[in-house]
Structure 1
Amino acid sequence: MSFGQDLAYHLPFLRRYARALTGSQTVGDRLVKHTLAAIVADPTSFPTGIDPRLGLYAAFLSNWQDQDGDELVDQSDGDERIARRRLSRITPRPRQALLLTEMEGFTSEDAAYLMGSDRAEVEALVAEALAEIERQTHARVLIIEDEPIIAMDIETMVRDLGHDVCAIATTHDEAVAAARLHRPTLVLADVQLADASCGIEAVKDILTDFHVPTIFITAFPERLLTGDRPEPAFLITKPFQRSTVKAAIAQALFFDDATVPA
């Protein structure tokens, strides 16, 4: 494989990194093109004696300068735009360290090389970035669950994850009233409630008042995942694992536009 072909293989991944780093596809692609133009203009400037992928990222970072203001806000639609808005609010070096290690899969040592740092600092920067994401996605949670033991279990998990539980409701009417009173930023809802009503209907009524991301909990997911009608974006199956709840909450909050800091 030629040098050019070797670099070409890694370009889609570099574009992904550049877009996440800058928060903009336009800005990221422009920086990648600038990097390639610099390599073509002066091939001797390309790092030697290291893995070509590592060298390519090093060349890119040497050309990268912070963007600010509106350039950091991706203009695309949907979940990806929301995620990039969150990333853009992490200061540059922690964002670099997080993306290089968690998204691009570089080791802490390789990330340290790319950032002109050392392993300890990279690990500290990653921890800082993760803490900022957790701060951004802190939630006030409404639990809609009619089984007391399960409700207590969910409440403990939610609090252990660093979120607040604003209320626990067991019926449709209680859920709607609690939502209107507390304005939660996340709802965890059982599908079947104590008054024989449906948790989905309770959430629908809540959503007529305001937007809030929702995770549904059910022992019978096959009844909801039929493909015949709109399905819940986030669904946990009973009995559930703590890791499942944690992952669902993280996803629901990270991709929710209402909880992105202004």
Structure 2
Amino acid sequence: MTESFASAVGRTLPHLRRYARALTGSQEAGDAVAARTLERLIAEAPSAGEDGLPVRIALFRAFHRNWMAEGAPLGEADSRLSARAQGHMARLTPHTREALLLHAIEGFTAEEIGAIMGVSPVQAQDLVETAIREMEESVAGRVMIIEDEAIIAMDLSAIVSEMGHRITGIARTRSEAVRLAHAEPPDLILADIQLADNSSGIDAVNDILREFRDLPVIFVTAFPERFLTGERPEPAFLITKPYGEEQVRSAVSQAMFFASTETLAA
């Protein structure tokens, strides 16, 4: 590979790993497919990028082809909620999940999704719209928000409520979060990383999951690349600040489906 190609792949890799985890429902499964994709790209380096596609799109397309060729594997269910999520996934229209993640989580346009998935832009847009409708209709539950910025907390609350979920409360600190979880155990947690009293949203989540292990968690951060290193346990779902409404809606639906209990080391 040329240095420029390698550098572009390096910048894209954290985002590909995020997509892979959300797509497969498992950090381990997603990373395994991503690693095999990179090995194949390295082996084919002389021809990499010769079709004129930007490296980011080419890398995601290579991953998608690899994943499909391997039978579109998902992570093995490791809990009751995760098993239920796999059941929901089996009922979704084929290929809608991939299109939704590419659009709402990674920010690809319909044209780019078409290039990645090998479909037309119109077909890509149809897949996205179908996924949003089907996933939001499948699961509803109680959501707790851990966020110290009032405006962001209110915005997240409004988006999640409009999806049909019920907000159990908003916590601004680690201790508030633990008390709120005990008062009414949620079905999903949305957690900021840095909280009002300089406590950690990561620590708050880990405290809660020691007692309530079957809870999906979505972390909210302005620096997702800091947590997508592969060197320690990582969250399966991240929302990047500044976020868009579609990104939140997609992440919430994804987390409810897969019920991830992955956490970060403090």
Q: TM-score, normalised by structure 2?
A: 0.50
The Cα shift of 1:45 comes to: 4.3
Distance 2:186 2:60 in 1: 39
Determine the structure 2 residue equivalent to 1:62: 65
Q: Is the 8 A contact 1:18 1:28 kept in 2?
A: yes
Any idea what the Cα deviations from partners look like across 1:106-138, whole Å, max 9, x if unmatched? 111010111111111111111111012211234
Q: Is the 8 A contact 1:186 1:212 kept in 2?
A: no
Structure 1 residue 101, shift from structure 2 partner: 0.9
State how many pairs are aligned.
179
Matched residue, 1:121 = 123
Instruction: Name 2:55's counterpart in structure 1.
Output: 52
SS across alignment from 2:119: coil
Change beyond 3 A, Cα 1:212–1:54: closer
2: CA distance, partners of 1:102 / 1:252: 8
Q: What is the DSSP-based 3-state SS (H/G/I as helix, E as strand, rest coil) of the residue aligned with 2:108?
A: coil
Map of 1:93-132 to 2, 5 A cutoff? 93-132=95-134
Q: Which residues of 2 match residues 1-262 of structure 1 at below 5 A? A: 2-48=4-50, 49-65=52-68, 66-68=71-73, 71-73=74-76, 75=78, 88=89, 90-138=92-140, 161=162, 186=166, 207=184, 254=253
Residue 26 of structure 1: how far off its partner (Å) = 1.4
Looking at structure 1, the residues matched to 105 and 251 of structure 2 have their Cα atoms a distance apart, in angstroms, of 19
TM-aligned CA deviation for residue 139 of structure 1: 6.2
Point out which structure has higher relative CO (alpha carbons under 8 A, 6+ apart): 2
Equivalent pair of 1:100/1:111 in contact (CA under 8 Å): yes
TM-superposed CA distance for 1:161, in Å, is 4.8
Measure how far apart 1:213 and its partner are.
5.6
Relative to structure 1, the CA distance from residue 41 to residue 103 in structure 2 (aligned partners, 3 Å threshold; closer, same or farther) is same
In 1, Cα distance between the equivalents of 2:56 and 2:25?
22
- 1:177 is aligned to none
- Cα gap change, 1:45 to 1:64, in 2 (>3 Å): farther
AA in 2 matched with 1:97 = A
AA matched with 1:63: N
Note the residue ranges of structure 1 that are not aligned, 5 or more in a row: 141-156, 164-184, 190-200, 216-224, 234-245
Q: Sequence identity, in percent?
A: 30
- In structure 2, relative to structure 1, the CA distance for the partners of 1:2 and 1:87 (3 Å cut) is farther
For 1:39, the aligned partner's letter is L
Cα distance change, pair 40–126 in 1 and its aligned pair in 2 (3 A):
same
- Stretches of structure 2 lacking an aligned partner (at least 5 in a row): 143-157, 170-178, 190-195, 205-216, 218-244, 260-266
Change in 2 beyond 3 A, CA 1:253/1:86:
farther
Tell me how far apart the structure 1 counterparts of residues 37 and 188 of structure 2 sit (CA, whole Å): 42
1 CA distance for matches of 2:258 and 2:17?
A: 27
TM-score normalised over the length of structure 1: 0.51
Q: CA RMSD in A?
A: 4.8
Report the Cα distance in structure 2 between the residues aligned to 1:252 and 1:38, rounded to whole angstroms. Answer: 29
